[in-house]
Amino acid sequence: GENVEQHPSTLSVQEGDSAVIKCTYSDSASNYFPWYKQELGKGPQLIIDIRSNVGEKKDQRIAVTLNKTAKHFSLHITETQPEDSAVYFCAASNRPDSSYKLIFGSGTRLLVRP
C-alpha cells in the first residue's frame, strides 16, 4: 500500500521568511496530493492540492510542486505570518481505486516567530 513520508517534523522560521515542507510517496499510482493545515484541537483544513497531471500550483502565498518521476511533492509558504503557525500534513490518494481514501504524512509543526 501507499506510504507517505514527510520532512521536517518541526520547522521554525522568522516572520516574513519562507517555509518549505517536503513529502515523498511510494505508490506510483497515486494521483492526488492535498495539503492540510491543522490547528490545535481542530480537524484538518485543506489549503491546497495538486493532481498528477500538473507540476505546480500556486494560491497567493502558498504553492505546491510535484515531481512524479521522483515521487515527491513540496509545500512552499512565502512571507510567513504568525497565524501560519500550525501542523501541516501532506497526503496522497489513488483515486478512484481506493475510493479516494487519503494516506497522510507524519506532519510538520511550523512555528513562525514574530
Partner 1 sequence: GAVVSQHPSRVICKSGTSVKIECRSLDFQATTMFWYRQFPKQSLMLMATSNEGSKATYEQGVEKDKFLINHASLTLSTLTVTSAHPEDSSFYICSARDPGGRRNTEAFFGQGTRLTVV
Give whichever of 26 and 100 is closer to partner 1, judged by the CB atom: 100
Question: Is residue 104 part of the contact set for partner 1 (CB under 8 A)?
Answer: yes
- Shortest CB 107 distance to partner 1, Å: 5
Give whichever of 36 and 73 is closer to partner 1, judged by the CB atom: 36
Q: Are 44 and 96 in contact (CB under 8 A)?
A: no
Subset of residues 52 to 81 that bind partner 1, contact rule: CB under 8 A: none
- CA dist 44 and 88 (Å) reads 9
Q: Pull the grid cell for residue 18.
A: 519562507
- CA dist 92 and 23 (Å) reads 10
Question: Is residue 44 part of the contact set for partner 1 (CB under 8 A)?
Answer: yes
Question: Is residue 2 part of the contact set for partner 1 (CB under 8 A)?
Answer: no
- CA dist 88 and 36 (Å) reads 6
Question: Is residue 49 part of the contact set for partner 1 (CB under 8 A)?
Answer: yes
